[in-house]
Amino acid sequence: MTKSWKTKLIHSDAKIPEGYRSLTTPVYRGSTTVFPSAAAVRDTWDQYRVGYTYGLYGTPTVLELAARVCELESGTHTILTPGGQAAISLINLALLHTGDHILIPTSVYFPNRKLTTHLLARFGVTSTFYEPTIGAGIAALIQENTRLIWTESPGSITMEVQDLPAIVAAAHARNVLVVLDNTWSAGVLFDAFAHGVDITMQALTKYIGGHSDLLLGSVSVRDAALYQRLGAAQQNIGCAVSPDDCSLALRGLQTLAVRLSAIEASALTVAKWLAARREVESVLHPALPSCPGHEFWKRDFLGSSGVFSIVLKPGPSQEQVFAFIDALKLFKVGYSWAGVTSLAVAYDIGRIPGRPPYDHRIVRLSIGLESTDDLLADLEPALQKLPA
Ligand SMILES: *Cc1c(COP(=O)(O)O)cnc(C)c1O
């Protein structure tokens, strides 16, 4: 068939050499996936079972990242979501029904708390918040209609490390699933499935991305039936992820080990330095004995990452805490930690029910890849701004 130049724009016969081999995964963008025949058309989400059907369920770039995260977490299936919070909501929407009950720690990532108390409550799912240090005591809170126990270890901001094996034992004795937000560990410093967890999620936005330039999440499981429920829900919800973001995350993965070990060493040095300061009441870093649940970190974790909190001694007003943060030059102020830039954020947790009485004296730090000495030199004069 002879083609007009207009048709050639869409249906080209141009040729390029074959056999190109790169070290990187190509970025496959696509909504439409072309089927070989009219009869082959399917709208099935499980691309491993039926082959590629639609961009919503992942192009090869997306499935490559999912498979790589799955491999690192020793799961059997991983589904990617547009962010960590989307991973949390996918799990809840896939597995819960009206009338169900969930248990959730008071230390949980705040948007997860809000999803529970607002949207899930609106759909008739009830919840009980529990102390993150509860351990085997969780058994007393399990009801007839409890379906899920959320865990997050260490917890957001207050950093409590949870006794996962004890919670898993109590949950499984009553046929309840345990979900872990494993973001702090980047999915590699805590082997969730080896400790009995049923479902893990991560904000890949954090250490896997590692450069503060993308939003992605993951949900991993070992059980094929759970994978079917999660995949079907994802199809219903329609949360696709960008192959370009996945390509950046695949790049991030390659340097995860070196970034994490540099960040771990620097964060530990900064945490120990802060622990010796007169302005600091305590340092909530899982690798230090001053952190609640430190013994579980020591027993269960393979290392530590770069996020921890400090509690200032009573005295400074919230404005004075803000002035301390604003005096920092290298530490920037902002959400979404685990990039190469160190961050500091002051929280007032006095308004969150069930949190320790730190009020506005708690500051969370995310250590990046700057020189540790420079970070200490940045902290020193800023701390001196605090009242004696
Ligand atoms: C950031 C974060 C999330 C949410 O991730 P987004 O990609 O920002 O949606 C979930 N859990 C924890 C513990 C986080 O720190």
pLDDT tens digits, one per residue of 213-231: 999 999 999 999 999 999 9
Contact 325, 334 (CB under 8 A): no
| Contact in structure between 50 and 42 (CB atoms under 8 Å) | yes
Is residue 217 within 8 Å of 86, Cβ to Cβ? Answer: yes
The low-confidence residues of the chain, meaning pLDDT below 70, are none
Ligand 1 pocket check for 58: Cβ under 6 Å:
no
Distance (Å) of CA 225 to CA 95, 228, 296, 380 = 11, 5, 30, 53
- 173: left (phi > 0), else alpha (psi -120 to 50), else beta? alpha
Question: Could you give the strand order of the β-sheet that contains 362-366, starting from the edge strand earlier in sequence?
Answer: 280-284, 307-312, 362-366, 343-347
Cβ 183 under 6 angstroms from ligand 1: yes
Domain regions of the chain by residue span: 38-250, 255-384
Which ligand 1 atom sits nearest the alpha carbon of residue 205?
7
Q: State the average pLDDT for the chain.
A: 97
The pLDDT score that the predictor gives to residue 59 is 97
Task: Collect all residues with Cβ–Cβ distance below 8 Å to 319 and sequence separation of at least 6.
Answer: none
pLDDT of res. 352: 81
In the reported structure, the alpha carbon of residue 342 is separated from the centroid of ligand 1 by a whole-number distance in angstroms of 17
Ligand 1 and 339: CB distance under 6 A: no
Q: Quick one: pLDDT at residue 388?
A: 75
DSSP readout, 167-199?
Answer: HHHHHHHTT-EEEEE-TTTTTTSS-TGGGT-SE
At 337, list the tokens: 């930690």
C-alpha of 297 from chain center? 18
Give, for ligand 1, the residue of 88, 151, 189, 206 to mutate: max count of ligand atoms closer than 8 Å to Cβ.
Answer: 206
Helices (H), the chain: 5-10, 47-50, 60-73, 84-95, 110-114, 121-122, 164-173, 224-237, 243-254, 256-275, 294-300, 318-326, 372-384
User: Roughly what angle, to the nearest 10 degrees, separates helices 60-73 and 243-254?
Assistant: 40
Q: The tokens 């919840």 sit on which residue?
A: 127
The answer to whether the beta carbons of residues 187 and 319 sit under 8 Å apart is: no
Q: Give the domain 38-250 fold.
A: Aspartate Aminotransferase; domain 2 (3.40.640)
Which of 191, 200, 167 has its CA nearest to residue 300? 191
Can you tell me the distance from the alpha carbon of 260 to that of 248, in angstroms, rounded to the nearest whole number? Answer: 17
pLDDT at residue 284, rounded to an integer: 98
- Specify whether the CB–CB gap between 141 and 128 falls below 8 A: yes
In the reported structure, the alpha carbon of residue 328 is separated from the centroid of ligand 1 by a whole-number distance in angstroms of 24
Q: Please name which of 148, 162, 171 lies closest in space to residue 90, comparing C-alpha atoms.
A: 148
Nearest atom within ligand 1 for CA of residue 216: 7
| Ligand 1 midpoint to CA 172 (Å) | 26
The 3-state secondary structure of 291-358 reads: CCCHHHHHHHCCCCCCEEEEEECCCCCHHHHHHHHHCCCCCECCCCCCCCCCEEEEECHHHCCCCCCC
56 Cα–ligand 1 center, Å? 22
Query: Which is the CATH superfamily of the domain at 255-384?
Result: Aspartate Aminotransferase, domain 1 (3.90.1150.10)
287 membership: H or E segment, kind and range: none
Best residue among 152, 200, 205, 245 to mutate for probing ligand 1's pocket (most ligand atoms within 8 Å of CB) is 205
Q: Which atom of ligand 1 is nearest to the CA of 183?
A: 13
Please state, in angstroms and rounded to a whole number, the distance separating the CA atoms of residues 136 and 282: 26
- 131 close to 166: Cβ distance less than 8 angstroms: no
Report which ligand 1 atom has the smallest distance to the Cα of 85.
Answer: 9
The CA 84 to ligand 1 mean position distance, Å, reads 5
Is 107 in contact with 292 (CB distance < 8 Å)?
no
As a whole number of angstroms, the distance between CA 328 and CA 331 comes to: 6
* Bridge partners for 178 per DSSP: 149
Distance CA 144, CA 142 (A): 7
State if residue 109 touches ligand 1 by the CB under 6 angstroms criterion. yes
Stated pTM of the model: 0.97
Instruction: Name the residue at shortest CA distance from atom 6 of ligand 1.
Output: 84
